[in-house]
A and B are shown apart, each in its own frame.
Chain A
Amino acid sequence: MRATRIVFVTVGALGIVFGAWVMVDTVRPKSIWGLATWLIGAVIIHDAIIAPAVVAISIAMRRVGRRIPPAVIAIVQGAVVVGSVFTLVVVPEIIRKAKVPNNDTVLPFDYASRLVVLWAAIVVITALVVTVYLRRSSRQKARPSTRQV
């Protein structure tokens, strides 16, 4: 395994160096500095803002939800994840649309209202899934004998 690992690390390092060479070869130094700020900014935004927020929210949900079944918390957390990722993907479209795209065939939809509809749909679907889950689990509790036969 040691030899394999050395090969991987070496080949990978060569890949990074080649990418850096292509970068220096095709992009002006000033633009590379601009890219560097974006690279550092991406890590800061993720590691220092998004990730701690996610951690804080999930701990808070666990604490607040002492009496809520864990599965329900998991379902709600899942719904928040779906909505958040969609928001991240769609908000740039909303911003770009507001700045007037190059032509009418780029970004033809009303993305803001569609995002609102999506969140509403997520809320409704989550409520339905939670209801179905709670009914099913209470039915199982009500008739334990049928499960034990």
Chain B
Amino acid sequence: MRFSMRELLYGLRRGVTSPNRNARTAVVIGRLLGLAFVVCLGTGLYSHFLQEPLAWMRFPTRPVALYQVTQGVHITAGILCFPLLFAKLYAVYPQLFTFPPIKSVPEFFERASIAIFVASSLVQIFTGLLNTFQYYPWPFPFKQVHYALSYVIIGSLIVHIGVKLPIIARYWRKRDSYDAEGRFLEGDAAPAEAPAGDSADAPARVPVTVENAAPARGVVGRIGAWIDRTPEVDVKSSRRGFFGAIGVTAAALLVLTGGQSFRALDPVNAFAPRKRGIGPNDLPINRTAKAAQVLDTAVDPAWALTVSNGSTKRTFTLAELEALPQTQVDLPIACVEGWSQMATWKGVRLVDLADAVGAGSDSALKITSLEKRGGYRVTTMGSEYVRDPATLVALHLNGERLSIDHGYPARMIAPGRPGVLQTKWLSTLEVI
């Protein structure tokens, strides 16, 4: 038995050669994947800064479905990254077996950046998917890691584009990539950047035939010989099949899971972790009253909402809130996990309560919930939401009194904000 590392790697590269594994495929899939990553980054940062705004930040409150759309797009694009990322990794797989593995210092950094890119992307989309159904079987906090990794991923994407720019330019257009018979056109790109590696000693660039195959020696040789006797694949049907499979997978994922975020797809929602209309008040919930430990405090007859502005303080019992002018609005509840649903809310305009304690037009609010603990027990609401006439201290939902799991006796509902900031089981509102 006689084989070297070099022979093994060449054998592997020959074995994984395929008409779809070329620079053109990598460019086409890379464009789509890059677009999906950029969309996820933009919508993700929007969601992040809604939850943790910098001091100067103000956000649009119209259209009321803005966050519903951005977060729905975030989660859906994230799910579409599964077929796209696997397709991309499939297209460039032979590059793993270059020999020697690292030839120079720049190449070491290039491969290192790709390793970071691949690892973070896989972890990001997989943990992101599991977060949509509140499943956390890993030893790190999801939110912080998801946020930090997004910069690492986009940074390594930019490095990757910089490194591969000659190949990207060379194979950007289809007519430069294939001849009339559909055969892939090699060359013109600088040899060091060529996808299949160095032209001087790259058997993978030579069409695989029995004649130029390595002699059948040892285990690797025999495997190589077996692979080499594999019939030639039909270039066109293979490529059509590849792009067809990616397209069908992406379309099917979109159609069968998008219903949690997009109403038009609700009838065919087969695999999403949420379904419209399921839950108390015909609406899904994230955190139950039991989990928030408010089963006693929320139904306490002595409950009253305290609204304060410095030394000015007013308290409103539930009956007093009910006696104030009631407003009904249709606003979506849209979760960071991507699911969303339009609902009909009825209650007191927040601006009326703020005015009752003499709040100014640029006052923000500190909102405190009855819940015992949790990252969103105390939150801040910017003045743009406080002054919006659609922002309510809601008492009714979809024609019924608010269910305790939806925040009875009173909850916040504002246009264009993440569900985690639509505070349930209100306790105090402080003008700041």
Measured CB to CB, the residues of A under 8 A from B are 1, 4-9, 11-20, 22-23, 26-27, 30-32, 34-35, 37-40, 42-43, 46-47, 51, 54-55, 58-59, 62-63, 66, 69-71, 73-75, 77-79, 81-82, 85-86, 88-90, 92-93, 95-96, 99, 101-109, 111, 114-115, 118
Given A5-B162, A16-B151, A31-B139, are A93 and B244 neighbors across the interface (CB < 8 Å)? no
Closest residue to B126 on the A side, CB-wise? A42
| Chain A residues near B118 (CB-CB < 8 A) | 42-43, 46
Whether the pair A63, B271 counts as a contact (CB closer than 8 A) is no
* B297 CB within 8 Å of chain A: no
* B69 CB within 8 Å of chain A: no
Closest residue to A47 on the B side, CB-wise? B96
Q: A63–B227 Cα gap in the complex (Å)?
A: 8
22 inter-chain pairs at a CB distance below 8 angstroms, sorted by A residue, are A9-B162, A12-B156, A16-B116, A19-B155, A22-B147, A35-B123, A38-B140, A42-B123, A42-B126, A43-B122, A59-B15, A71-B237, A77-B245, A81-B246, A85-B86, A89-B257, A95-B135, A102-B287, A102-B291, A106-B273, A107-B133, A118-B271
Not counting A31-B140, A96-B130, a sample of 9 additional A-B residue pairs whose C-beta atoms are within 8 angstroms of each other reads A5-B165, A16-B156, A19-B155, A35-B138, A39-B119, A42-B122, A74-B238, A81-B246, A82-B245
Whether the pair B144, A86 counts as a contact (CB closer than 8 A) is no
Q: A120–B360 Cα gap in the complex (Å)?
A: 62
Given A8-B158, A12-B157, A22-B148, are A74 and B135 neighbors across the interface (CB < 8 Å)? no
- The interface centre, meaning the residue of A16, A38, A55 with most chain B CB atoms within 10 A of its CB, is A16
Q: How many residues of B contact A (CB 8 A)?
A: 87
Whether the pair B252, A86 counts as a contact (CB closer than 8 A) is yes
| Chain A residues near B108 (CB-CB < 8 A) | none
Q: A144–B312 Cα gap in the complex (Å)?
A: 92
* B285 CB within 8 Å of chain A: yes
Main secondary structure of the interface of B (DSSP, over half): helix
- The interface centre, meaning the residue of A15, A37, A90 with most chain B CB atoms within 10 A of its CB, is A15
Whether the pair B248, A78 counts as a contact (CB closer than 8 A) is yes
| Chain B residues near A7 (CB-CB < 8 A) | 162
CB-CB contacts below 8 Å: B102-134 with A: 113, 115-116, 118-120, 122-123, 126-127, 129-130, 133-134
Contact of B271 among A6, A59, A111 (CB under 8 A): A111
| Chain B residues near A73 (CB-CB < 8 A) | 237, 241
Q: A34–B271 Cα gap in the complex (Å)?
A: 30
Whether the pair B249, A85 counts as a contact (CB closer than 8 A) is yes
| Chain B residues near A105 (CB-CB < 8 A) | 274-275, 278-279, 284-285
Q: A115–B93 Cα gap in the complex (Å)?
A: 29
* B166 CB within 8 Å of chain A: yes
Closest residue to A11 on the B side, CB-wise? B158
The segment from B228-236, B364-372, B379-387, B420-428 that touches chain A is: B228-236
Q: How far is the CB of A35 from chain B (nearest CB, A)?
A: 5
Whether the pair B155, A13 counts as a contact (CB closer than 8 A) is yes
| Chain B residues near A104 (CB-CB < 8 A) | 278-279
Whether the pair B279, A85 counts as a contact (CB closer than 8 A) is no
Whether the pair B134, A106 counts as a contact (CB closer than 8 A) is yes
Contact of B169 among A1, A26, A62, A107 (CB under 8 A): A1
Whether the pair B162, A62 counts as a contact (CB closer than 8 A) is no
Q: How far is the CB of B141 from chain A (nearest CB, A)?
A: 6
Q: How far is the CB of B338 from chain A (nearest CB, A)?
A: 12
Q: A71–B238 Cα gap in the complex (Å)?
A: 7
* B154 CB within 8 Å of chain A: yes
